[in-house]
Amino acid sequence: MPPFAESTLDRRLAELGGKTPTRVLVVCGDAMRKKRGEPESARPEETERALSALSLGDAVQAVREADTRGAASGLARASTDAFEAAFADSDEERELFVASVMDGLGARDRLASIATAARARGALGERAGEDVAELVAATDELEQRLQGADAPRQAWTRSLTAANAARRAVLATLTDAAASDAWWYAARIHDDGLLAVLGGLVDADSVSLGEEGKRDVARSRIAGSDALDASAIKDRALGHGDAASDSRANRRSQSDASLREALALASDRSIEADADRPV
């Protein structure tokens, strides 16, 4: 029996279905990104031993095969399900959606673990005099692909606020360095009530919102009906109105003589056609 047979790493590898290069990187990276004392953390010598046992070739292949598209779709799904969590009918339904959110975020988190473990494997190889250039290049390329996958993060994180309690719980287990990189857990973590406010379920004053959340609430105010009337007149005057906006404006004008008058003037093409008359 190897000396680390009962270690956290082996237990987690067994839970994931057995040892493969990708799983070794995920489990080691996870352990390295966790605070000491967390159930999934491990002693540095344990992760070093597990990573050293992984050949450089296997590590390179695992990094190249890292599923960045899967992570992007996991993030998108998490964002959608977080929105559903915010408007769920029951606590039970909300919990199901939040579990799905965390599953989607987990897909992105696993890639962060792979990158962390790959860097560590490279450093070990360098110390041992191995040529690690290929692994370093593959890890650089993975991080670039991740940047692309993360691009719509600003849109996603607003919805993720509906799962803030669960995100906060995971965030608390990460080391400071890992937490500052893990935007999928950390971003908008103080804006718990954002979706409820945007949906008009509660007032902004009655929920916890950070500075970014307060700014979003102010920046997303919806134009009033006066502004929409002005838009209808403009569309009519410029000949831009589509059938839907025309019929909407016509319906609204039934109860608003001033709007009716304005729309009639805007529609009157004889005014421009006649414009060469002496003033």
Partner 1 sequence: MDSDDDVLFAQVLAARAAGRDPGRILGALLERWRRPAIYVIRRVLASYRRSDAVDPEELFQESACKLVERGLDQFRGHDEEGESRAGAPRTFFLRIVKHAAIDFCRRRREELAAPSPDGEEPEHQGPEVAVAVERARRANDREESVELYWKAFARLRAEHPNEAAAWDLYHHEEVGEHEACAKALGITVVNSYKRISRAQAHLRLFLLELRDGTSSET
Q: Which of 231, 246, 250, 260 binds partner 1 (CB under 8 A)?
A: 231
Question: Is 220 a residue that touches partner 1 (CB under 8 A)?
Answer: yes
Task: List the one residue out of 118, 130, 137, 131 whose CA is nearest residue 24.
Answer: 118
Sign of the C-alpha dihedral computed for residues 211, 217, 218 and 219 taken in this order: positive
Q: What one-character DSSP code corresponds to residue 118?
A: H
Question: Is 98 a residue that touches partner 1 (CB under 8 A)?
Answer: no
How far is residue 246's CA from residue 70's CA, in Å, rounded to a whole number? Answer: 43
Q: How far is the CB of 213 from partner 1 (least distance, A)?
A: 11
Cβ neighbours, 10 Å, residue 255? 8
Buried b (16+ CB within 10 A) or exposed e, 214-245: eebbeeeeeeeeeeebeebbebbbeeebeeee
Cβ neighbours, 10 Å, residue 15? 10
Q: How many residues line the site for partner 1 (CB under 8 A)?
A: 48
Instruction: Please tell me whether residue 45 adopts helix, strand or coil conformation.
Output: helix
Nearer to partner 1, 68 or 159 (CB): 159
Q: Which of 73, 87, 137, 250 binds partner 1 (CB under 8 A)?
A: 87
Question: Is 252 a residue that touches partner 1 (CB under 8 A)?
Answer: yes
Q: Show the site string, 130-169: x = touches partner 1 by CB under 8 A, - = not.
A: ----------------------x-xx--xx----------
Question: Is 234 a residue that touches partner 1 (CB under 8 A)?
Answer: yes
Nearer to partner 1, 36 or 251 (CB): 251
How far is residue 258's CA from residue 271's CA, in Å, rounded to a whole number? Answer: 19
Cβ neighbours, 10 Å, residue 69? 10
Question: Is 195 a residue that touches partner 1 (CB under 8 A)?
Answer: yes
Q: How far is the CB of 242 from partner 1 (least distance, A)?
A: 10
Joined together, the tokens standing for residue 209 give: 């919102």
Q: Which stretch binds partner 1 (CB under 8 A): 1-9, 12-20, 91-99, 247-255?
A: 247-255
Question: Is 101 a residue that touches partner 1 (CB under 8 A)?
Answer: no
Interface ranges with partner 1 (CB under 8 A)? 83, 86-87, 152, 154-155, 158-159, 195, 198-201, 216, 219-220, 222-223, 225-231, 233-234, 237-240, 245, 248, 251-252, 255, 258, 261-262, 265-266, 271-272, 274-277, 279
